[in-house]
């Protein structure tokens, strides 16, 4: 693992690191904020999964999460959204290929060789960071924005013993019924099949839910709201009687202005359960 940068940040350290990924078969970069408390021992972890076109850097520099994480003594991990580099498949459309991994394990050419983002975020990167940094693997939570909100919700429900709480900002909530999902699943996973369903938060909510608290915020003026399908997830939450808070925030759109406006709420929500 190579250290690309480390900067003092709210009493802690904001680092950026690069390593060779066996899952994605290329170099991968991630951000990690360690609060001051990490100097004295392992601290709880909040994963932040970013959305379409983003890298590890977008949320790290725009979401304003470090200030609230430092206040709560929580580490933040910012993975990249896809494999990158020479020889990695890409597409001219912004919502497919590099920057658009959708947190799935691709099975179709030309994506299958590198696009193993589920394995990378769920297995490889956790093993790396818990081995090398003062982090408490027994106290983890996960959040994300848009495509990353989709990733956070499906990882929470597919890995129920790992995360104490799950939240999302404007998640892609029902990808198997949306153009943000069907297009990518067709490319990465092939013709519609049961493999699609394990990556759909609405389907998973109906079938298994999450054994813990959930918080979701979406803006009423989100320009992509028809693609996000928040109403589908809300219906599944209600039908399952899942413990959850789903908020429609008046006047907010899909931008990082929206994310940063409610980041304090989300970090405090996770802190309550990480320190319970």
Six token digits for residue 200: 């759909």
Model-level pTM?
Answer: 0.97
**How far is Cα 25 from Cα 23, in angstroms, rounded to an integer?**
6
- What pLDDT sits at residue 42? 97
**How far is Cα 181 from Cα 196, in angstroms, rounded to an integer?**
9
Report the CATH number at residue 39.
3.40.50.1820
Q: What averages of pLDDT result for each successive group of 10 residues across the chain (276 residues)?
A: 98 98 98 97 98 97 97 98 96 97 97 98 98 97 98 97 97 97 97 95 98 98 98 98 98 98 98 96
Q: Domain limits at 40?
A: 2-274
Residues with Cβ within 8 Å of 114's Cβ and at least 6 positions away in sequence, in order, are 24, 25, 26, 83, 87, 88, 89
CA distances from 104 to 172, 182, 227 (A): 14, 13, 18
- What pLDDT sits at residue 160? 87
Catalytic residues: 146, 222, 254
User: 153 with 166: CB under 8 angstroms?
Assistant: yes
**Tally of domains in the chain:** 1
């Amino acid at each position: 693992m190579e250290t690309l940068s480390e900067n003092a940040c709210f009493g802690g350290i904001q680092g950026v690191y690069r390593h060779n990924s066996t899952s994605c078969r290329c170099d991968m970069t991630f951000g990690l904020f360690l609060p001051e408390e990490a100097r004295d021992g392992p601290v709880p972890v909040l994963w932040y999964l970013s959305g379409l076109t983003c890298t590890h850097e977008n949320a790290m520099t725009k979401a304003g999460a470090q200030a609230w994480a430092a206040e709560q003594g929580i580490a933040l991990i910012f993975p990249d959204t896809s494999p990158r580099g020479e020889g990695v498949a890409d597409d001219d459309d912004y919502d497919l290929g590099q920057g658009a991994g959708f947190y799935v394990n691709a099975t179709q050419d030309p994506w299958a060789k590198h696009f193993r983002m589920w394995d990378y975020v769920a297995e490889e990167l956790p093993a790396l960071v818990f081995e090398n940094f003062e982090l408490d693997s027994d106290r983890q939570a996960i959040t994300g924005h848009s495509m990353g909100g989709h990733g956070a919700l499906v990882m929470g429900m597919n890995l129920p013993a790992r995360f104490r709480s799950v939240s999302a900002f404007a998640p892609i909530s029902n990808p198997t019924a949306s153009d943000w999902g069907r297009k990518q699943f067709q490319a990465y996973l092939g013709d519609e099949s049961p493999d699609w369903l394990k990556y759909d938060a609405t389907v998973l909510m109906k079938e298994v839910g999450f054994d813990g608290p959930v918080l979701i915020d979406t803006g009423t003026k989100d320009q992509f709201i028809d693609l996000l399908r928040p109403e589908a997830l809300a219906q599944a939450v209600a039908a399952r009687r899942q413990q959850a808070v789903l908020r429609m925030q008046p006047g907010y759109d899909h931008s990082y202005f929206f994310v940063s406006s409610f980041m304090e709420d989300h970090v405090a929500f996770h802190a309550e359960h990480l320190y319970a």
